[in-house]
Amino acid sequence: MVKAIVAPSVLASDFGCLTAECKRVIKDGAEWLHMGEFHPFLFLFWILWGSRVPIMMIDKKPSNRHFVPNITIGAPVLACVAKSVEGAYMDCHMMVADPMRWISDVAGAGGASYTFHLEACFQKPDSPDHDPLAIIERIHASGMRAGVAISPDTPSDQISEAVGSKADLLLVMTVHPGRGGQKFIDACVPKVAQLRARFPKKDIQVDGGVGPKTVKPCAEAGSNVVVAGTAVFGAPQPGVVIQELKSVIEAELKKAGTLT
């Protein structure tokens, strides 16, 4: 049994009044705040097989390379939100090359969950610090829930039974990571159904291009957690959108008999 959860993506908010934006969507019914984190000074690698990120968007100097072309929220911002927004559940999506490195910082800043990309582990398969099971163990030891994300070009079966069973959340990206406002990729939806069939009691999250027009197929496939950025923060009445998304998810979970 799972719960319907809407997690507005703070990446799409007005950073000039960040804490006010966070307070507003929580008041409007959002359960989580989705904090997408991209860190500088990481060695470049593609987080998906056949990345769509143009190479000219990335500084080629080793000291300036990023995981994705944007740099956004880091631990200091998380700490600010945690201090200013009472009861905020910060769902931290770590688009970083070295996920083990940032666990302590995020936990110390008040992160509630820490989701890392499975693709990061593929880059150094022989490194203990890139073993997904070891990363999950470290996340749990830090007091956070652990999530595992896959990018659009990564098949769902790359998440092993051991990894999926140990994780608390499985995230299917429905856009290519790194930028808000992209078009929803319908071809990613079957991966949600595949993961729901394999892991019926896990939180299964979708992130990217999700809004009132695209939430239904995600919920039908078994997603109980949706990340919505532009659809929420770009709406005249964010609360109306949050409740609409939640209603669709709840209706589909009821049909499937999996709603808590």
pLDDT tens per residue across span 42-60: 333 333 333 433 333 333 3
The pLDDT tens digits of the residues spanning 133-163 come to: 999 999 999 999 999 999 999 999 999 999 9
Please give the helix or strand (H or E) that residue 37 lies within, else none.
strand 33-37
Task: Evaluate whether 116 touches 96 at the Cβ level (below 8 Å).
Answer: yes
The pLDDT tens digits of the residues spanning 10-33 come to: 989 998 999 999 999 999 999 999
**Residue 62: how many other CB atoms lie within 10 Å:** 10
Residue in the block written with tokens 């919920």: 219
Tokens describing residue 120: 């990061």
Could you state, in order of their start, the residue ranges of all structural domains in the chain? 5-256
What pLDDT sits at residue 39? 52
Task: Evaluate whether 118 touches 104 at the Cβ level (below 8 Å).
Answer: no
CB within 8 Å of 37: residues ≥ 6 apart: 72, 73, 74, 92, 93, 94, 95, 96, 102, 106
| 228-253 average pLDDT score | 97
Q: How far is 249 from 31, CA to CA, in rounded Å?
A: 13
Task: Report the CATH superfamily, name and number, of domain 5-256.
Answer: Aldolase class I (3.20.20.70)
If pLDDT is split at 50, 70 and 90, which confidence band does 3 have? Answer: very high
What pLDDT sits at residue 176? 87
Q: How far is 176 from 51, CA to CA, in rounded Å?
A: 8
Range in 58-72, 94-108, 151-165, 191-205 the model is least confident about: 58-72
Q: What percent of the chain has pLDDT over 70?
A: 85
Phi, psi of 63 (to 5 degrees): -75, -15
What pLDDT sits at residue 125? 84
What pLDDT sits at residue 242? 99
What pLDDT sits at residue 255? 96
197 vs 43, residue with greater confidence: 197
Angle at which helix 18-27 crosses helix 238-256, to 10 degrees, equals: 50
CA distances from 195 to 78, 105, 114, 163 (A): 30, 30, 19, 12
